[in-house]
Amino acid sequence: ACSLLRSPKDFPKLKNDTFLRVARGEETEHTPVWCMRQAGRYLPEFRETRASQDFFATCRSPKLCCELTLQPLRRFPLDAAIIFSDILVVPQALGMEVVMVPGKGPTFTEPLKEVEDLLKLRQKVDVTAELGYVFQAITLTRHSLEGKVPLIGFSGAPWTLMSYMIEGGGSSTMAKAKSWLYRHPEASHRLLRLLADVIIDYLVGQVAAGAQALQLFESHAGHLGPELFQDFALPYIRDIAQAVKSKLKEEALPLVPMIIFAKDAHYALRDLAHAGYEVVGLDWTIRPQEAREQIGKDVTLQGNLDPCALYAPKEKIGELVKKMLESFGTQRYIANLGHGLYPDMNPEHVGAFVEAVHAHSRHINKH
């Protein structure tokens, strides 16, 4: 299915728009569900497809990204697909080298150490030249989905990308990156602004290529307290939503729903509710009722089953899903995990999760 480069025109008609309708605040018969990292190592077919390829080489192959994106949809009746890619393609577009080290994860060969290092970054990025392979993957996948479900595009948010670029990889404290916020606030804002500008063009380009929704991942929000978040994360999160929307209008592109997922940022839910996104994603550390109280009725919520719940027996997964649906309510709600699937999870348990969301939400809606 994933061959032939196609143009972003004449896309097949969408058959299941439940996810998009809920994102826009419309009522539906069942609660839509998808999973973060649904295209991932927990699927044997994913491991097989990825086996011979370097990780970022896979990201640069539209054909492989398309195949990996479609794999979970062949198994499960998910209500959305999310393009297979990585948030670190943006730092690569700025000229940084990132390699995937087995057992360690993504690693920057030369992380940013001093403020002067910012000069090494590309100050003007032509996203089509640098990230066109993601756009091609989106267009190809959108055709190959044959209108089955909507396709989500995504990007990392500025603070999360900045933290990787300075830490050089994952970190339990983010102390190097946070020290920049305290020691070099102006340089930090320069870097965050540069990232935001690239992300805006990148997200608009994804919609032009065929993405029907967008998710912004502020995965490292939990390392910031309320004040640092207010100064160094939130303004850029707001700005990205606003600028993407005005550019989509200017370019006569569809105004797609946008999701903000700021992991562990429960201190900022009220602000995120007013940041310009149709959907706020939640991690598993937040009580559904509290989230609903803070966020209000005009924003759709997404989340937030503890991914580790999928290690439970299938019947237990069903019970947990039922409880989650009762807590969130079945409308203005997209079911998901509170973070991504883990590599050692049983695909059958993922299927049990997806089916439980559909069955229980239909039942609750009928009664």
Among 366, 281, 350, 330, CA closest to 31? 330
CA–CA distance from 316 to each of 125, 259, 287 (Å)?
A: 49, 29, 19
Q: Which of 17, 37, 142, 277 is catalytic?
A: 37
Q: Which of 17, 42, 50, 283 is catalytic?
A: 50
DSSP-based three-state secondary structure for 264 = coil
Residue 86 annotated among the catalytic residues of the structure:
yes
Q: Which of 41, 75, 190, 362 is catalytic?
A: 41
Query: Is residue 82 within 8 Å of 40, Cβ to Cβ?
Result: no
Q: Which of 17, 79, 164, 201 is catalytic?
A: 164
The one-letter code for the residue type at 213 is A
Residue 292 annotated among the catalytic residues of the structure:
no
Residue 50 annotated among the catalytic residues of the structure:
yes
Please give the distance of CA 229 from its chain centroid, rounded to a whole number: 19
Q: Which of 21, 86, 193, 306 is catalytic?
A: 86
Query: Is residue 200 within 8 Å of 240, Cβ to Cβ?
Result: yes
Residue 75 annotated among the catalytic residues of the structure:
no
Q: Which phi and psi angles does 107 have, rounded to 5°?
A: -135, 130
Residue 41 annotated among the catalytic residues of the structure:
yes
The β-bridge relationship of strands 151-156 and 105-108 is unpaired
| Other beta carbons less than 10 A from residue 295's beta carbon | 20
* Burial class of residue 223 in the structure, from the number of CB atoms within 10 Å of its CB (0-12 exposed, 13-18 middle, 19+ buried): buried
Q: Which residues make beta-bridge pairs with 107?
A: 99
* Opening angle at CA 293, ends 290 and 298, nearest 5: 130
Query: Is residue 78 within 8 Å of 35, Cβ to Cβ?
Result: yes
* Rounded Cα gap, residues 285 and 365, in angstroms: 26
Catalytic residue set: 37, 41, 50, 86, 164
